[in-house]
Amino acid sequence: MVRFLLKRLLHALAVLWVVATLTFVLLRITPGGPFDRERRLPPEVLANIAAKYHLDEPLWSQYARYLKGIAKGDLGPSYKYLDRSVRDIVADTLPVSATLGLLALGLALALSFPAGLTAAYYQSSWTDRLCLFVATLGISLPSFILGALLIWIFSLQLGWLQAGRWGEMGSAVLPSFTLGAAPAAYLTYLLRSSLLDTLGEDFIRTARAKGLRESRVLFKHALSHSLIPVLTVFGPLTAALLTGSFVVEYVFAIPGMGRFFITAVTDRDYPLIMGVTLVYTALLVSANLVVDLLYSFFDPRIRTR
Amino acid sequence: MQSPNEISARRRSRAEKTMLVASSVFLVVAACAGLLAPMLSPHSPAGLEEARILEGPSWSHWMGTDGLGRDLLTRILYGARVSLTVGIGTGVIALVVGSLYGLVSGYIGGALDNLLMRIVDVFYGLPDLLIFILLSLVFGRNIGGVLVALGLVTWVRFARIARGQVLQAREFLYIEGARAIGASRFRIILRHILPNVAGPILVTLTFSIPAAILAESTLSFIGLGINDPYNPWGTSWGTLAQDGWRAMRTYPHIILFPGLAIFLTILSFNFLGNGLRDILDPKGR
């Protein structure tokens, strides 16, 4: 178990290092720079800026400085927001993104469990077919189109909910639904097929033969057994929520990390881009780690691999 | 006598067949419309008509005009080329690179396999969309750059599938037979193993095409994807949706039509993928 844990931790660190290096290299070879203006700055000014951000040092020493900073949790200064460091920006915006992500996740679970259970239990019925059809629609509808559609219907036409003004009452409803729809559809699919496999197993027949109530067979015996395969997708699911969040934040003007990432890319604010990418990766890697641990806890066969 | 279960299973498969046919027809029509765009439309995608700005759908402009008086239907037809090329191109690039990688890794095995799969594991842990954004910064905001960038984040899927299939196929008797009569490794991989692992790879392809279209259109929508207005290949459906988004309050038709095009295309590919998977791998459901 300890060996397994160490291996996973090492892997997580490797992913973080690769991302840190990759972003560093990519942003150094990208044409155009953060201090390119329409009116060219005098060379003295450029030299001063370069000296301030240590851009005049050789690349390897910049790289070493950057990695050392990360190890200490310092993500460097922002080129664009002169009075804030990247860490400040992340500290301000991450809670917003996390709130949105958790709301969406909750919504996805609340929608997918009843749908998946009903669909699997009444396999091939019209309910099942309806659930599958809606799930396919949900997977195929890009979040920016869903978001635009919801805004058009509920804020522009009906005037029930507002789009934007994050933090006010009701402002989280449309974004959470937009972000949660695709994961909900995906989970419904998965839960349904996992339950269908389980319901065909011998122990379910045994449980029924013992005369257990159907609800007990379904919720206690079948559901708990079907959750293990569902657990594995929580890694990719977290990834979907994280990367999905910056589109949703863009559409609904939510001051989260994703929106700052988008403006950082247009501004060429390199430290901010690198910082946000690293934080995203760290979240993703930890989610995968937790899933691995839970999975090995529920299914001891995994550990020996 | 048929049990009720069998009957409803058959009926369901009939409904699915209809969706499968409808999806294929839609995709073929969309692809042809994109290819033949210059012949189909009387307008030019860059033809400005100052007098007819932001008009709704009419007989001369079926989908209306945009903020510069360009015919929206024509722009969507030209956009179909770009979006479909990005989807299919990415899928094919990733298929070739990923499958070869996985085939070699799985067939040779041992330390090399271990190393190659570690690399794939690391790639799997990356946040795709962010890496894609960074890569497209490097390669430029044109269709070529997006193709390379998307190919680079998609290939790992194929590598894993191909390797898994090879590990299974390697144990079959006919592979041992081929080895016994002295066929080279290269020949065994290409002639004997590849045809047998083609099914799952084909299914993966059908699902990675809509994923690529989704990634590209999302990126173009938030203003970081394809945008090269002087190039006829420089506007995708996502770019058009971005145009429409800014005017949605008063002119919703400009976002409606590109959005619909993206949605229907992704939906069709997903139906196609589901159908293919049922045919090639009946246990996968």
Concatenated DSSP letters for B215-273? HHHHHHHTTSS---TTSTTS--HHHHHHHHHHTTTT-THHHHHHHHHHHHHHHHHHHHH
Q: Is residue A167 scored above 90 in pLDDT?
A: no
Query: In the prediction, which pLDDT does A53 show?
Result: 73
Residue A305 confidence (pLDDT): 47
Q: Is the dihedral of CA A292, A296, A301, A305 positive or negative?
A: positive
Q: What is the mean pLDDT of residues B39-62?
A: 71
Of the candidates B256, B261, B232, the residue with the CA atom closest to the CA atom of residue B245: B256
Give the separation between CA B219 and CA A265, rounded to whole angstroms: 12
Residues 228-267 in B contacting A (C-alpha not used; CB under 8 Å): 241, 245, 248-249, 252, 255, 259, 262-263, 266-267
Which of B114, B124, B134, B274 best tests the A interface by mutation, with the highest count of A CBs <10 A? B134
| Short-list A17, A85, A79, CA closest to A54 | A79
| Mean pLDDT, chain A, whole residue set | 82
Which chain A residues are closer than 8 Å to B12 by Cβ?
A: 124, 129
Which residues of B are less than 8 Å from A145 in CB distance? 241, 259, 262-263
Mean pLDDT of A257-267: 86
Are B264 and B26 in contact, with CB atoms under 8 Å apart? yes
Residue type, A119: A
* A-B contacts at Cβ under 8 angstroms: 117
A144 contacts in chain B (CB < 8 Å): 217-218, 221-222, 241, 245
Measured between CB atoms, does B89 come within 8 Å of chain A? no
Q: Best-predicted range by mean pLDDT among A141-150, A169-178, B232-241? A: A141-150
- Round to whole Å and give the CA distance between B171 and B181: 16
Judged by CB atoms closer than 8 Å, whether chains meet at A139 and B5 is answered as no
- Portion of chain B with pLDDT greater than 90, in percent: 13
Specify which of A53-57, A212-216, A255-259, B275-279 reaches the highest per-range mean pLDDT.
A255-259
- The answer to whether B102 touches B166, Cβ cutoff 8 Å, is yes
Least confident of A138-152, B157-171, B224-238: B224-238
Beta-sheet strands, E only, within chain A: none
A168 vs A270: CA distance, rounded Å:
32
Contacts of A265 in chain B (CB under 8 A): 133, 137, 224
Asked if the model's pLDDT at residue B221 lies above 50, the reply is yes
Q: Are B136 and B153 in contact (CB under 8 A)?
A: no
The region of weakest confidence among A29-33, A125-129, A194-198, B273-277 is: A29-33
How much is the pLDDT for A66?
81
Q: Which amino acid is at A243?
A: T
Instruction: For residue A44, give the H/E element and its range.
Output: helix A43-52
Q: What are the distances in angstroms from CA A226 to CA A116, A200, A231, B131?
A: 11, 12, 9, 33
Please enumerate, as own/partner, the contacts of A59-64 that have beta carbons within 8 Å and a separation of 24 or more: A59/A28, A63/A21, A63/A24
pLDDT band with cut points at 50, 70 and 90 for residue A169: low
* Average of per-residue pLDDT across B58-67: 71
- Quote the radius of gyration of chain B (alpha carbons, Å): 23
Question: Residue A124: its chain B contacts at CB < 8 A?
Answer: 5, 8-9, 12
- Phi, psi values for residue B225, rounded to 5°: -100, -140
Rounded distance between C-alpha atoms, residue A132 and residue A130, angstroms = 5
d(CA B169, CA B180): 16
A160: confidence class by pLDDT, cuts 50, 70, 90: confident
- Given CB atoms, is B119 within the 8 Å cutoff of chain A? no
Which CA distances in Å does A218 have to A129, A189, A205?
A: 20, 17, 11
Percent share of chain B, pLDDT over 70: 88
Across the interface, whether the CB atoms of B8 and A145 are under 8 A apart is answered no
Closest CA to A17 of A79, A56, A66: A66
pLDDT in tens, A184-196: 998 998 888 888 8
Which residue did the predictor score with more confidence, B130 or A299? B130
State whether residue B167 sits within 8 Å of chain A by CB.
no
Is B131's CB within 8 Å of A22's CB? Answer: yes
Task: List the structure tokens of B260.
Answer: 């619909």
Average pLDDT over residues A138-156: 87
Question: Please, what's the b/e burial string for A246-270 (b: 16 or more CB within 10 A of its CB; e: otherwise)?
Answer: bbbbbbbebebbbbbbbebbebbbb
- Count Cβ atoms within 10 A of the Cβ of residue A146 and give its class: 0-12 exposed, 13-18 middle, 19 or more buried: buried
Look at residue B94 in the predicted model and tell me its pLDDT: 94
Dump pLDDT digits (tens) for B15-29: 778 888 888 998 998
What's the complex ipTM? 0.82
Structure tokens of A134?
A: 């809606």
At B5, is the secondary structure helix, strand, or coil? helix
pLDDT-based confidence at residue B89 (cuts at 50, 70, 90) = very high
Q: Tell me whether B4 touches chain A (CB under 8 Å).
A: no
- Residue B262: the pLDDT is 92
Nearest to B270 among A140, A149, A246 (CB): A140
Q: How far, in Å, CA of A25 to CA of B14, rounded?
A: 53
The reported pLDDT for the residue numbered B277 is 81
Q: Which residues of A touch B271 (CB under 8 A)?
A: 136
E strand or H helix at A224: helix A224-232
Q: Give residue A286's pLDDT band: very low, low, confident or very high (50, 70, 90).
A: confident
Q: Which two tokens stand for residue B32?
A: 């042809």
Look up residue B138 and give its amino acid. Answer: V
Would you state the pLDDT for residue A196?
Answer: 84
pLDDT band at B3 (very low <50, low <70, confident <90, very high): very low
Q: Which residues of chain A lie closer than 8 angstroms to B245, CB-CB? A: 144, 148, 251
- Separation between Cα atoms, residue B265 and residue B271, nearest integer Å: 10
In terms of Cα–Cα distance, which of B189, B242, B214, B225 is closest to B91? B214
Nearest to residue A278, comparing CAs of A1, A2, A12?
Answer: A12
The beta-carbon neighbor of B249 closest among A156, A243, A281 is A156
Specify the range with the lowest mean pLDDT, choosing from A254-268, B34-48, B212-226.
Answer: B34-48
| Interface residue B186 vs chain A (CB under 8 A) | no
Q: What is the pLDDT of residue A228?
A: 79
User: How do residues A85-139 score in pLDDT, each as one tens digit?
Assistant: 888 888 888 888 888 888 999 999 999 888 888 888 888 788 888 888 888 888 8
How far CA B155 is from CA of B94, B124, B205, B208, B251, in Å, comes to: 4, 10, 10, 10, 40
Residue range B152-205, pLDDT digits in tens: 889 998 998 888 888 887 778 888 888 888 888 778 877 877 777 788 888 889
Given this model, what pLDDT does residue A4 score?
79
User: Does B198 touch chain A if contact means CB atoms closer than 8 Å?
Assistant: no
| Beta-carbon separation of B126 and A145 below 8 A | no
Q: Does B53 touch chain A (CB under 8 A)?
A: no
Cβ within 8 Å, pair B134-A27: yes
Q: What is the pTM of this model?
A: 0.85
B43 and B74 in contact (C-beta within 8 Å)?
Answer: yes
**Three-class SS of residue A51?**
helix
Read off the pLDDT band of A280 (50, 70, 90).
confident
Residue B7: its pLDDT value, please? 44
Q: How far apart are CA A221 and CA A198, in angstroms?
A: 9
Percent of chain A having pLDDT more than 70? 93
Closest CA to B83 of B272, B284, B235: B235
Instruction: For residues B28-44, give the mean pLDDT.
Output: 79
